[in-house]
Amino acid sequence: MKRDLVSIDDLSSGEIAALFRTVDEMAARPREWTHLAQGAILASLFYEPSTRTRLSFEAAMHRLGGGVISAADMRSSSAAKGETLADTVRVVGGAYADILALRHPAEGAARVAARYASVPVVNAGDGSHEHPTQTICDLYSLYAEKGRLEGLDVVLSGDLKYSRTVHSLAYALARLRANVVLIPHRGFEMPEYVLRRLRERYGNEPQRLEADDFRSIAGRADAVYFTPQRPHQLSLFTEANRVAVAKLDALYVTRPQQERFTEGEAAPPVRIDREALSGARFKDTFVMHPLPRVNEISYDLDQDPRSLYFKQAARGVPVRMALLAFLLGRLDLGAEAPAPEPTAEAVRGRLGMACPNPTCITNLESHYLEPEYVVVSRSPLTASCTFCEVAVAPVLVGCASTRVFHRHNSGDVRRIKAEHLVLFASEEQARGSGFAAAGRP
């Protein structure tokens, strides 16, 4: 079975550890791996701008002895003539290339590509959703500098709403038992679906952080601290539900993702410089950034030994070498793949509501993609989009077999068979689809 890398959770913790060992070797002797991908071709399909990600993927493939075909600007390809993502990846993946690296502005695009392509798909960023290969670069850099990940205190700051890098990174840090501190810009908090996954999948519970501690790096601070619930960490707590962090291991800064802002959204002019990091708490704090930076990090930090961002970018090549070799099946990591997720109830089909996220791939390519949701709870009925993960809260829930609808929090919803569930955003939509209210003809 092919392996795709759509989400950071497509790699098990054992595989990540094994990848790190390979990356060490590849970084130490970068020119000695030209046998690994001989005869294989990587296609870069980039529907959004990129410098480091695309070039490091391509450099990595060359270093492995493979070939590269590159559509650096898919907006100038047949996509501009209206070709769908599904059709593009079906042709390019298989007939032209053995592995695809895809960057796309729509959340969920990589999941769609992975379904349609017969070859492995690597998500090089799908909208504001995830960016798993950047996360491996970030984790590897932290690990290389600190020698461990478990127990580190890592701040994720800035635009946590639209930055896909911090979503994948937060999941991985939580899974690998690091502590995550969220310091978002006002209005750019971590999306609810990310927080839910942190809580439900990794058991990370948020704690409030002493607010005044972080004015220097966030301008203002409604900081949230996520920690795996382990007793010895209670020593970090100053009082119930309030946490003070004595020292920080890393401060991950993000660029305001202006290209995804909706009307009225504007990033605050927060800039981190040596002055902001002069306190004792920041003495050994690595400053990280996926790059490109705009104004968030002052150039006066570039020569500071705590700055890690250029090293992070340089490590993109050996990291992607290891990932490509692994996904092509040319490198055995000797680690277990992730356990399959427990099968949840799914709601599929055109009947009912569309995904509420306007930039979800199911809305942008709706002529062939049907909405698809995973049921989170039956009462009240809540769900999340299979592709972009955004929460879906229907007003009414219908039964496709009886053509009757109920309120989302009605007890009757529990009795509807999963395959008959239909989610409606409004009564008008339910009636327009030929459904009638329960109890009345």
Residues that bind ligand NCD (CB under 6 A): 52-53, 125, 131, 134, 164-165, 255, 290-291
Rounded CA-CA distance 294/282 in Å is 22
Please state the closest distance from residue 267 (CB atom) to ligand NCD, in A. 12
User: In whole angstroms, how close is the CB of 210 to ligand NCD at the nearest point?
Assistant: 28
Residue with tokens 């491996």: 136
CA distances from 66 to 58, 99, 225, 253 (A): 9, 11, 43, 34
- Which helix (H) or strand (E) segment is 391 a member of? strand 391-392
Query: What is the distance in angstroms between the CA of the first residue and the CA of the last residue of the chain?
Result: 50
Q: What is the spatial distance between Cα 384 and Cα 387, in angstroms, rounded to a whole number?
A: 9
CB of 430 to ligand NCD, least distance (A): 39
Tokens 């009414």, residue located:
396
Q: How far is the CB of 9 from ligand NCD (least distance, A)?
A: 18
Nearer to ligand NCD, 43 or 245 (CB): 43
* DSSP bridge pairs for 226: 180, 206
Q: Rounded to whole angstroms, how far apart are CA atoms 365 and 111?
A: 13
How is residue 23 written in tokens? 């990356």
Task: Considering the complex, state which of residue 123 and residue 429 has its C-beta at the smaller distance from ligand NCD.
Answer: 123
Q: Which of 183, 192, 5, 230 is nearest to 102 (CA)?
A: 5
| Minimal distance, residue 388 CB to ligand NCD, in Å | 16
Give me the helix-helix angle, 316-327 and 132-146, nearest 10°. Answer: 120
Residue 400's Cβ-side half-sphere holds a number of Cα atoms within 13 Å equal to: 13
R_g of the chain computed on alpha carbons? 23
* Complex with ligand NCD: residue 137 or 354, whichever CB lies closer: 137
Give whichever of 93 and 290 is closer to ligand NCD, judged by the CB atom.
290
The nearest distance, CB 354 to ligand NCD, in angstroms, is: 26
Nearer to ligand NCD, 177 or 255 (CB): 255
Which residue number, 134 or 285, has a Cβ lying nearer to ligand NCD? 134
Instruction: Answer yes or no: are the C-beta atoms of 37 and 31 closer than 8 Å.
Output: no
From the CB of 124, what's the least distance to ligand NCD, in Å?
Answer: 7
CA nearest to 30, candidates 56, 63, 69: 63
Encode burial over 115-124: b for 16+ CB neighbours within 10 A, e otherwise. ebbebbbbbb
Q: Which is nearer to ligand NCD, 53 or 384 (CB)?
A: 53
Q: Residue 349 and residue 321: Cα distance in Å, rounded?
A: 39
Q: Which is nearer to ligand NCD, 292 or 411 (CB)?
A: 292
State the nearest-atom distance from the C-beta of 235 to ligand NCD, in Å: 35
Which helix or strand (DSSP H or E) is residue 228 part of? strand 224-228
* Beta strand ranges found along 105-140 (DSSP E): 121-126
Measured from the CB atom, the residue of 276 and 297 that comes closer to ligand NCD is 297
Show Cβ contacts of residue 6 under 8 Å, excluding neighbours closer than 6 positions: 110, 111, 114, 121, 123, 126, 130, 132
**Least distance from C-beta 154 to ligand NCD, angstroms?**
17
Q: How far is the CB of 230 from ligand NCD (least distance, A)?
A: 31
Q: Would you say 153 or 159 has its CB closer to ligand NCD?
A: 159
HSE-up of 393 (CA within 13 Å, CB side)?
Answer: 4
Q: Of 141 and 227, which has the nearer Cβ to ligand NCD?
A: 141
Map tokens 């920041």 to a residue: 282
Q: Closest separation between CB of residue 250 and ligand NCD, Å? A: 16
